[in-house]
Amino acid sequence: MFENYFKIAIRSLLKNKLFSFINIFGLALGMSCSLLIWLWIKDEISFNSFYPNLENIYNVRSGSEWKGEYSVGDPVPGPWLEAIQKEVPEVAAITKITWNRNLLLKAGEKSTKENGIYATSDFFKVFQTPFVAGNPKTAIEQPTSIAISRKLAEKYFGKTDVVGRTFRLDNATDLIVSAVFEDIPHNSSVRFDWIVNFKVQEQDWMKWWGNSSFKIYALLAPNANPQNAEKVMQKIIKKNAPPQLISFPVIQSMKDHYLFSEYEGLKATGGRIEYVRAFGIVAIFILLIACVNFMNLATARSVKRAKEVGVRKVVGAEKKFLVVQFIGESLIVSILAAVLALIFVLVLLPVFNQVVEKQIIINFTDPVLWLTLVGLVCITGLVAGSYPALYLSALQPIRILKGRLTFSNKSNYLRKGLVVFQFGLSIFLIIGMLVIGRQMNYIQTKRLGLDRENVLYISLEGDLYKKLEAFRQEILNSPSVAAATTTGELPTDISGRSGDLDWAGRDKELSNTVSATYAGYDFVKTMNIKILSGRDFSPEFPGDTSNYIINEAAAKMMNMKDPVGKKVKFWMGEGTIVGLMKDFHLNSFHRAIEPLILVNYKGQNTEFMMIRTLPGKTEEAIKHIENVTRAFNPNYPFAYHFLDEDYEKMYRSEMIVNTLIKYFGILAIVISCLGLLGLAAFTAEQRTKEIGIRKVMGANVSSVVTLLSKEFVKLILIAIVITSPVAWYLMNKWLSDFIYHIDLTADIFIISGVIALSIALFTVSFQSVKAALMNPIASLQSE
C-alpha cells in the first residue's frame, strides 16, 4: 500500500513540474534560512558552555543608585576582590582581570603583538580551562610566570612542550612559560592568548576604591545560594568602602553573561538575547511563508486531484488512508526540500560566517543536527500538508464524479487568508529592513559632539612614556597634522567610572559617580569638541596637572550653573575646573550621555595618542607619524587605527543584524512571490475559457491583466493594513533600546507597502500577461 502511495506521489510531482518546483524550491529556501539561523542561535546560546563548572561562575558587576534609579555596569573597583575574598564564605575562588591588552611578545627573533590579560592567581580555579602542559593551580601564581595558548606555543616555538622557555613582554619584563592551555574557544566571554599575574602591572591607582577599571569573576561553592552570596558581598563592600562610594556588587551567572548584558534597574532583561529571539521569530516566519505556499498551491490544485479521490473512495478507500497518502506526499516534498536545503547551507555557510563574523561549522556527527533536520521535515510536512490532506480526503465522491465540484467559500477564504498572512510577514520584514537600516545610518551620520573624521590613533608603549610631550610636539611638526593629544581611553568609548568626585556642598545622598579618563594637552581641540566656557588643557598652564575639565552632564549633576573656576576633589587631589565642554557621546547610543571629568595626566595610564590630520593629507600624515614613532620607539612595530572604524565596531551587532534582516527579508519576499506566481498560474489555468470568451467579445490585454490581478492586489492591501500597526509597535520597542534613535514616520510604512505591492503586481502580471496573450481559439476549441 505504502509503495503504491509513494509511486503516486512521485508521478504527481513529475506530472506537475512547475508546481512541484515551486513547492520544493520554496520549501528548500525556507528550510535553508531556518537552518542557518538555527546554527547562529545555537552558537549564540553556547557561549561559555564549555566550562565544566559554569553553573557556579558569576560575574561581579557594579550597581549604583541615583535619585531612586538603579544602573549596573561592568567595571568594578579593584579593592572589591580582597574584601570579598577575605569575608564572603560562599566564594570558593575569585579573580580580578584587566581589560584585554594587545602587547608585544618576543621570543628569540620572533616578536608580534598578541592579545592577553593580567589576572590574579585564582583565575584558572574560576575558569577551569583544559591544559596542554603545566599545572593550572600554579600557572600564574608567580609574577615571573606567563601562561600561553597552544596557538602561541606553536607559533613561536613550533611545539607545545615549551614550559621553561622565556618570553619578553612589552619589551620590559622577562617571563618564564609556566603552562600551555588549549586555545580559548571563540564562544567565550573571556578570550586571551596569554595571561600574566596581575601584580606585574599593578599600580597605586588600581587600589583606589573609587576607580572602577576591572572585571571580577567569582566561583561560588557548590551549595551556595547566589542571592545570599550577593547580599553578603554588598554588606562587606559597604562595611569596607569609603563613605562616599555608593556602588555595590551585583552578581550575574556566566550562563547569562553574554546574552543578558542590559539591565532594567537591577534585573538583567536584554542584550544579545533580543536578537536571538528576533531571529528565531524570523526563522519561523520564513518557514511559515514557505509552508503557506505549499498549502495554497495544494488546496488550489485540489480540483485536479478530485476525481482521483472520488474514484478511490468509490472503490473503498477510507478517509484516514487518504489523509496518510496526502501527508506522505507532503513529507516526500519536505524530504526533497530538506536535502536541497542542506546543500544550500553547505554552499552558503562560508559567506554566512563572513557576514556574522563567526566560525560556525556543521558537525555531521552531532545527533542534535539530525534531530533538528528530522524535526524540520516532519513539522514542515505536517504543517504544509495537513490542510490539503484533510480538505481532499473530505470531498464527496458523488459530487466529484457528477462534475459538481466547486471551491467552497471556506476554502477560498482560507487561501486568501494565507496569502494575506504570507505577505503580512514579508511586509513586516520589509519594514524591519527599513527601520534598522535608517537607525544604523542615523548612528553613523549623527553629530556626536566630537569629530571622529580624519582622526587616527596609535598605542602608547615602551619608550614613548619617557618623552610623551616631546613625541607629541614632533608629531605636530608637520603641515599635514592639525592637532594631537593623549588619552586614557578612546573618546567614543569611555568606560572607566569613578565615585571619587567631591565638591563643596555635595548632597551625600546623591550620586557622585562619573565617567573619567586621562587627557593630555589640546584634547578638546583635537577631538573638535565645543567649549562652552573656560579653556582646553594647555602646556602654557603648568598647574593643569591638578585641574579638571567637565561636561554639561557633570555640571548638572553637581548643580553648578557656572562651574569654571570652582574647586573639586578628584584623582589628582583638589583642583580647579578650567573648562566646560558641550556634551558629547562617550558611549554607544544605547546609553545616555553620562557625567564626565577629564584629568590632565601624562603617565603610563595614558593609552593612546590621538592625531587629527588635515583633510586630504592623511597619507602624508601617516608617513610622518610612522617616521617619528620609529625614531622615538624603535623596539616596537608601528601600527595605527582610525577612530571612525573603532566607532563602527561598537555597533557590529546591529550592523550584522541589519545585513541579516536584509538578506532574509529579500528571501522571504522571493518565497512569497514564488507562491503568488504559482497561484496566479493556477488561477489563469482555471479561467482559460473565460479569458478566451472575453477576448472574443473584444476585451484587450490590459483589461484581462486587471481582471486577474485585482484580487491579489486587494489581498496585499489588506496585508499592509493589518501588518503596519503590529510592525509599528514592535519596531518602536526595538528603537526604545537606543536612548537616541530615529522617529517612526509614515513614509517607512508607505514605502514598505509600495515595495510589497509592486513586487506582487510584477509577479502576478507576468503570469496574467502570458494568459492574456494566449490565442482564444486554443482555449475555446473544446467547447
Write the DSSP assignment of 591-653 as a string of letters. SPPPPEEEEE--STT--EEEEEEPTT-HHHHHHHHHHHHHHH-TTS----EEHHHHHHHTTHH
Residues 230/220, Cβ–Cβ less than 8 Å? no
Given the C-alpha cell 578570550, which residue does it identify? Answer: 191
Same domain, 36 and 126: no
Beta bridge partners of 600: 519
Reduced to 3 states, what is the DSSP secondary structure of residue 378?
helix
The span from the CA of 640 to the CA of 365, in Å, is 44
CB-based burial of residue 629 (10 Å sphere; 0-12 exposed, 13-18 middle, 19+ buried)? buried
| Predicted pLDDT of residue 712 | 77
Cell triple for 252: 550575574
Tell me the three-class secondary structure of 307-324, residue by residue.
Answer: HHHHHHHHCCCCHHHHHH
Exposure b/e, 653-680, CB count within 10 A at least 16 = b: ebbbbbebbbbbbebbbbbbbbbbbbbb
Q: What are phi and psi of 641, to 5 degrees?
A: -140, 150
Please, which pLDDT band fits residue 465 given cuts at 50, 70 and 90?
A: confident
pLDDT for res 91: 94
Residue corresponding to grid cell 615549551 = 162
| Residue 63 and residue 41 in one domain | no
**Residue the block writes with cell 473530505:** 394
pLDDT for residue 751 is more than 50? yes
* Residues 780, 189: Cα–Cα separation, whole Å: 71
Kindly state whether residue 317 falls inside one of the protein's structural domains.
yes
Please tell me the total count of domains within the chain: 3
Please state the rounded mean pLDDT for residues 343-370.
87
Buried b vs exposed e over 548-562: b needs ≥16 C-beta within 10 Å?
A: bbbbbbbbebbebee
Which residue, 367, 389, 406, sits at the end of a domain? 406
Q: What are phi and psi of 40, to 5 degrees?
A: -65, -45
Confidence of residue 288 (pLDDT cuts 50, 70, 90): confident
Tell me if 355 is assigned to some domain. yes
295 has pLDDT over 60 = yes
Question: Which region holds residue 51: left if phi is over 0, alpha if psi is between -120 and 50, else beta?
Answer: beta
Interval 461-489 mean pLDDT: 90
DSSP classification of residue 59? E
Residue 782 reports pLDDT greater than 50: no
pLDDT of residue 766 exceeding 90: no
Specify if 451 maps to a domain. Answer: no
Domain assignment present for 691: no
CA–CA dist 681, 68 (Å, integer): 64
Last residue of some domain: 249, 279, 295?
A: 249
C-alpha–C-alpha distance, residues 196 and 115, integer Å: 12
State residue 166's pLDDT score.
94
3-state secondary structure of 191: coil
**Per-residue model confidence (pLDDT) at position 694:** 61
Percent of the chain with pLDDT over 90: 34
Cβ proximity of 633 and 474 under 8 Å: no
pLDDT at 12: 65
Question: Higher pLDDT residue, 331 or 783?
Answer: 331
Q: Which residues contact 478 (CB under 8 A, 6 or more apart)?
A: 620, 621, 624
How confident is the model at residue 689, as a pLDDT?
61
**Count of C-beta atoms within a 10 Å radius of residue 740:** 17
d(CA 630, CA 658): 41
* Residue 40 and residue 122 share a domain: no
What per-residue confidence (pLDDT) applies to 317?
60
Of 586, 608, 635, the domain-final residue:
635
Residue 651 located in a structural domain:
no
Judgement on whether residues 225 and 113 belong to the same structural domain of the protein:
yes
Do 31 and 86 share a structural domain? Answer: no
Quote the pLDDT of residue 194: 96
Residue 327 phi, psi (nearest 5): -65, -40
Are 10 and 85 found together in one domain?
A: no
Buried b (16+ CB within 10 A) or exposed e, 477-495: ebebbbbbbbbbbbbbebb
CB 727 within 8 A of CB 427: yes
Q: Are strands 481-487 and 608-613 parallel, antiparallel or unpaired?
A: antiparallel
Average pLDDT for 701-709 = 65
Per-residue pLDDT at 264: 79
Quick check: is 420 in a domain? no
Q: What sign does the CA torsion over 502, 505, 509, 510 have?
A: negative
Q: How confident is the model at residue 671 (pLDDT cuts 50, 70, 90)?
A: confident
CB 193 within 8 A of CB 152: yes
Provide the pLDDT for residue 218: 95
Which pLDDT does position 3 carry in this prediction?
62
DSSP state at residue 183: P
Q: How far apart are CA 93 and CA 135, in angstroms?
A: 17
What is the C-alpha to C-alpha distance for residues 321 and 328, in angstroms, rounded to an integer?
10
Question: What's residue 119's pLDDT?
Answer: 96
Q: What is the pLDDT of residue 309?
A: 63
Residue 757 phi/psi, 5° resolution? -65, -40
pLDDT at position 426 = 82
* Region of poorest pLDDT, from 249-263, 431-445, 513-527, 660-674: 660-674
Instruction: Answer yes or no: is pLDDT of 4 > 70.
Output: no
Rg, the chain, Cα only: 33
- Mean pLDDT (whole number) for 200-226: 88
* pLDDT confidence of residue 371: 87
- Is the domain of 387 the same as that of 477? no
Q: Hey, what's the cell of 376?
A: 524540520
Is the pLDDT at 300 greater than 70? The verdict is: no
Query: How far, in Å, CA of 626 to CA of 643, rounded?
Result: 17
Q: Give the residue-averaged pLDDT of 302-327.
A: 64
* 476 band by pLDDT with thresholds 50, 70 and 90: very high
Summarize pLDDT for 150-196 with one digit per residue, the tens.
999 999 999 999 999 999 998 888 999 999 999 999 889 999 999 99
Check pLDDT > 70 for residue 485.
Answer: yes
783 has a pLDDT exceeding 50: no
- 12-26, 259-273, 375-389, 450-464, range with greatest mean pLDDT: 450-464
pLDDT at 627: 94
Q: Does position 593 have pLDDT exceeding 90, yes or no?
A: no
Please tell me the distance from the alpha carbon of residue 684 to that of residue 412, in angstroms, as a whole number. Answer: 16
Minimal CA–CA distance to 52: which of 305, 222, 169? 222
| CB contact at 8 A, 22 and 675 | yes
Would you say residue 700 lies in a domain?
no
pLDDT value for 652: 76
Which amino acid, residue 495? Answer: S
Lowest-confidence segment of 39-53, 121-135, 200-214 by average pLDDT = 200-214
282 and 380 part of one domain: yes
Q: Which residue has the cell 542571592?
A: 227
Q: What is the mean pLDDT of residues 417-426?
A: 80
Q: What's phi and psi for 490, nearest 5 deg?
A: -65, 135
Q: How many other CB atoms are there within 10 angstroms of residue 4's CB atom?
A: 9
More confident residue, 702 or 437: 437
Neighbours of 145 (CB within 10 A): 21
More confident residue, 760 or 404: 760
The pLDDT score that the predictor gives to residue 523 is 92
**Chain centroid offset of residue 11 CA:** 46
Write the pLDDT tens digit of every residue in 493-509.
Answer: 888 778 788 898 887 76
pLDDT band with cut points at 50, 70 and 90 for residue 95: very high
Per residue in 619-649, pLDDT (tens digit) is 999 999 999 999 999 888 898 999 888 877 7
Q: What cell numbers appear for 236 in the block?
A: 562587606
CA terminus-to-terminus distance, the chain:
39
Do 473 and 621 share a structural domain?
A: yes
Q: Which range, of 6-10, 22-26, 656-660, averages the lowest pLDDT?
A: 6-10
Predicted pLDDT of residue 192: 95
Range 127-131 average pLDDT? 94
Instruction: Please indicate, yes or no, whether the overall pTM of this predicted structure exceeds 0.85.
Output: no
* Residue 30 C-alpha from the chain's centroid: 22
Instruction: Spell out the SS3 assignment of 505-536.
Output: CCCCCCCCCEEEEEECCCHHHHCCCCEEEECC
Question: Looking up cell 600551555, which residue turns up?
Answer: 180
Range of 330's domain? 1-47+258-406
Report the DSSP pairing between strands 497-498 and 567-570: unpaired
Q: Are 385 and 322 in contact (CB under 8 A)?
A: no
Percentage of residues in the chain with pLDDT exceeding 70?
A: 83
Based on the domain organization, do 185 and 40 belong to the same domain?
no
The residue-averaged pLDDT of 25-40 equals: 87
In this structure, the answer to whether residues 368 and 288 fall within a common structural domain is yes
pLDDT at 136 over 50: yes
On whether residue 553 sits in a domain, the answer given is: yes
Same domain, yes or no: 377 and 352:
yes
Which helix (H) or strand (E) element contains residue 72? strand 69-73
